[in-house]
Amino acid sequence: MATYTTAHLCVFFSLLWAAFITCQVEEQPFVLSFINRQRFQEMVESGEHFLVNFGTIGCIRCKDLEPHYQSVFDHYRSNPSIGVYKTNDINLVRQLGLPKVPAVMLYRHGIPILYEGTITAEDITQWVDDNIESFTTHLKDDDFEHLTQSSTGATTGDWLVKFCDTDSAKCVSILPVWESAAYKLKGQVNVASVNITENPKLAKRFKVLTEDLPVIIFFRHGKQYAYTISARDSASLVTFSLTGYKHAQGIDVMPPPSPFDELTESIALQIKTLTSGEGSSTVLLLVGGAFALIFIVVLFCLCCRGGGGKTLMEELGKTKKSV
């Protein structure tokens, strides 16, 4: 009887211990994944939606964020469309030009936005949900004036526009802050960007130089105001767009060039190219003769009347006889 009781007790305690271990395993939180620079770059290039907590080893404020960020991870663990990661790669922090850590950034189709709210899981998750898509409009040579109506000051509202180049380090570093400003200004000011490499006409129209990038201009009621403040944080950009532009010098927005302007400029450029090499005098004489011939033909056409009317020479003859 004693042996039978002992066996049952052993089985009972074994089952109890197994249940205890199972509970302990289930209560263990899922662990956040660290990503290195290579994996980070792969996710950016693939256009994935993911959240990253940038920190460094020994960072005190990073430790304060950890429990809240773990809650954010637990919140999105069942949502396969958004990954939540962290990294302690100091070189990656420097590469991105982050001014301080911890820094939480959300990437959407390769476009980052910097979180600037309070350190609570609720605020971070709400911010992520609000910023699944970018609020920045990408303007091009062929739609800039139609969308902004910058030179007419019409009905599309005010525009804060960043002229940049994807190869510029300063343009890359300002992108998360720019997206944050767009989020804060939504419903008040349109925020946009122009890639000057792909849109050279806009770069020329607004006199954007590569060495000055990023160039930021605020458009309002047919006037443009250059952002010349050294601060490049979202709060400064928002303040300038709402009230600060009043303290800057506004100039009339130059209208887009007409087709005739573009034609004459193209001709002038061709002439300059032709006359820059050897035999330029001969080429210039030929071009001048061609333009003279064109002028004569145009004048002749203007002087002729259509529908069987009299020519200029006939009119002159008639005048001579009357005299």
Residue of 112, 130, 128, 22 whose CA lies nearest to 68: 128
7-60 pLDDT, tens digit per residue, is 555 555 565 555 544 444 344 455 678 999 999 999 999 999 999 999 998 889
**The pLDDT value given to residue 309:** 44
**The pLDDT value given to residue 2:** 47
DSSP 190: E
CB-count exposure of residue 123 (10 Å: 0-12, 13-18, 19+)? middle
**The pLDDT value given to residue 79:** 86
- Separation between Cα atoms, residue 310 and residue 249, nearest integer Å: 58
Nearby residues of 185 by Cβ (< 8 Å), 6 or more positions away = 135, 160, 191, 238, 241, 242
Let me know how long the chain is. 323
259-285 pLDDT, tens digit per residue, is 666 566 666 556 666 666 555 555 555
Residue of 177, 194, 185, 187 whose CA lies nearest to 240: 185
Strands 83-87 and 50-54: what pairing? parallel
CA 237 to chain centre: 14
Instruction: Work out the average pLDDT over 158-174.
Output: 94
- Separation between Cα atoms, residue 212 and residue 198, nearest integer Å: 17
86-111 pLDDT, tens digit per residue, is 999 999 999 898 889 999 999 999 99
Contact of 250 with 224, CB cutoff 8 Å: yes
- Separation between Cα atoms, residue 90 and residue 285, nearest integer Å: 65
SS3 assignment, position 77:
coil
pLDDT at 312 over 70: no
Domains and CATH numbers, the chain: 33-130 (3.40.30.10), 137-252 (3.40.30.10)
pTM: 0.74
Nearby residues of 188 by Cβ (< 8 Å), 6 or more positions away = 241, 242
Alpha helices for the chain (secondary structure H): 2-27, 37-46, 60-76, 90-95, 121-130, 144-148, 169-185, 200-205, 234-242, 259-274, 280-303, 312-322
pLDDT at 300 over 80: no
pLDDT confidence of 258, banded at 50, 70, 90?
A: confident
**The pLDDT value given to residue 284:** 53
